């Protein structure tokens, strides 16, 4: 006012003037207060000043997301903390918080990492995000425990609510605020197109998305018979006790195999798992069925397609047993080889069988230009 600054209450916006005589002129200048964020850098050197090129790093190579955030010259708080370790392509979320004149200002930013090699033969396919209703349905069937710690034990969930074995986990719905930090850091996933790690501490799933598994060349077209998840969109906690191998296969098969192992005690039945949620709702006319990966499907793959960076469950070829013997459920280890193994929280890879006549319409099969399917 008349060249002088007036005190303004930052909470109410009221200007305090004690004595005024005659006419006065007040000029109000507004100031935009916002968090300033530097361009995120993705590099194997946490102190680098530029990002590495797209598709330039081998999956699993330790890299870092790094950036700074300030508010009116003061350093802001960033969660998860940076430099943040990444080893695969994904969109990572960070919450930045700063304080100005006793007010907290928050900003959410997304950082897209695409510096790592993607899987081959990628397909345009979207089976959507997990919903709260789906999670609640799994819980009501005793088939779900979020299990962010990737634990297991030998207590069946259906017998004891503290049990973890024979339950799926590693995923939740986007609006699950209680798990926000775990979601932002990639420990828990919210999209069925994403992948989640198993309980192997030194290994991470390499890929997200979907890729071609089985094709046939005919009449100048490439017909697609099967596609598969390029990674592992969920975990299954398995603890070995009597008959659990058959029970796991019963769950995996949607109740079609090892029906005689579905009972636990006192006539209580284990609930089988329906995998229809892995169908792309916009391409239902192309889809026949969804199953968990089998031993036969694994053996049809190249070694590169088998290895996703971590271990996952596989259903054995033999479907009928006169007497229950041996292991019904196998795992494929990070080296690409089948093995029998007990007491772990491992990954799951769904396989989608397409209807007759589905072929590749266009696309080159890269992450940026995936195959588009038609019928």
Residue 295, classed as helix, strand or coil, is helix
Range(s) of the domain holding residue 209? 122-374
β-sheet bridge partners, residue 354: 287
Please state the domain count of the chain. 2
Q: pLDDT digit string (tens) for 211-257?
A: 999 999 999 999 999 999 999 999 999 988 877 878 888 898 888 88
Three-class secondary structure assignment of 203-262: CCCCCCCEEEEEEEEECCEEEEEEEEECCCCEEEEECCCCCHHHHHHHHHCCCCCCHHHC
**CB proximity list for 175: less than 8 A, separation 6 or greater:** 132
Share of the chain above pLDDT 90, in %: 52
Distance CA 169, CA 233 (A): 9
Q: Is 16 part of a structural domain of the chain? A: no
For residues 19 and 145, the model is more confident at 145
Closest listed residue to residue 166, CA positions, set 264, 94, 278, 259: 264
Query: What is the rounded radius of gyration, in angstroms, for the C-alpha atoms of the chain?
Result: 26
Tell me the whole-structure pTM to 2 decimals.
Answer: 0.77
| 109 and 126 assigned to the same domain | no
Domain boundary among 113, 136, 171: 113
Does 273 lie in the same domain as 207?
Answer: yes
Which of 132, 129, 173 is closest to 280 using CA atoms?
A: 129
Looking at the structure, tell me whether residues 101 and 132 fall in a common domain. Answer: no
Neighbours of 195 (CB within 10 A): 29
Question: Tokens at residue 325, please?
Answer: 């013997």
In a domain, 22, yes or no: no
Q: Is residue 219 in some structural domain? A: yes
């Amino acid at each position: 006012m008349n060249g002088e600054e007036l005190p303004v209450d930052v909470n109410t916006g009221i200007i305090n003037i004690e004595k005024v005589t005659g006419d006065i002129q007040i000029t109000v200048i507004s100031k935009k207060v916002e968090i300033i964020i530097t361009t995120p850098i993705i590099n194997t050197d946490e102190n680098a000043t530029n990002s590495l090129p797209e598709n330039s790093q081998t999956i699993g190579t330790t890299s870092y997301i790094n950036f700074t955030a300030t508010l009116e010259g003061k350093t802001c708080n960033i969660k998860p903390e940076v430099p943040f370790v990444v080893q695969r392509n994904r969109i990572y979320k960070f919450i930045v918080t700063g304080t100005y004149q006793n007010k907290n200002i928050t900003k959410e930013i997304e950082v897209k990492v695409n510096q790592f090699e993607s899987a081959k033969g990628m397909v345009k396919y979207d089976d959507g995000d997990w919903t709260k209703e789906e999670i609640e349905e799994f819980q009501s069937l005793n088939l779900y425990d979020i299990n962010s710690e990737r634990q297991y034990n030998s207590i069946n969930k259906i017998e004891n609510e503290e049990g973890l074995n024979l339950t799926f986990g590693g995923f939740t719905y986007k609006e699950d605020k209680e798990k926000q930090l775990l979601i932002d850091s990639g420990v828990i996933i919210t999209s069925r197109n994403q992948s989640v790690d198993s309980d192997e501490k030194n290994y991470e799933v390499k890929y997200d998305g979907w890729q071609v598994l089985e094709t046939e060349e005919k009449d100048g077209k490439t017909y697609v018979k099967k596609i598969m998840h390029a990674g592992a969109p969920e975990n299954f906690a398995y603890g070995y006790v009597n008959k659990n191998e058959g029970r796991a296969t019963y769950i995996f098969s949607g109740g079609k195999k090892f029906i005689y192992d579905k009972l636990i005690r006192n006539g209580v039945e284990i609930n089988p798992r329906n995998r229809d949620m892995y169908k792309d709702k916009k391409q239902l006319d192309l889809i026949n069925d969804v199953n968990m990966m089998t031993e036969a499907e694994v053996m049809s793959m190249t070694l590169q397609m088998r290895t996703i960076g971590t271990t996952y469950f596989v259903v054995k070829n033999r479907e009928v047993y006169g007497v229950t013997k041996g292991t019904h459920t196998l795992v494929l280890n990070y080296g690409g080889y089948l093995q029998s193994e007990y007491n772990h929280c491992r990954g799951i890879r769904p396989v989608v069988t397409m209807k007759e006549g589905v072929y590749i319409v266009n696309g080159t099969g890269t992450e940026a230009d995936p195959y588009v399917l038609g019928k």
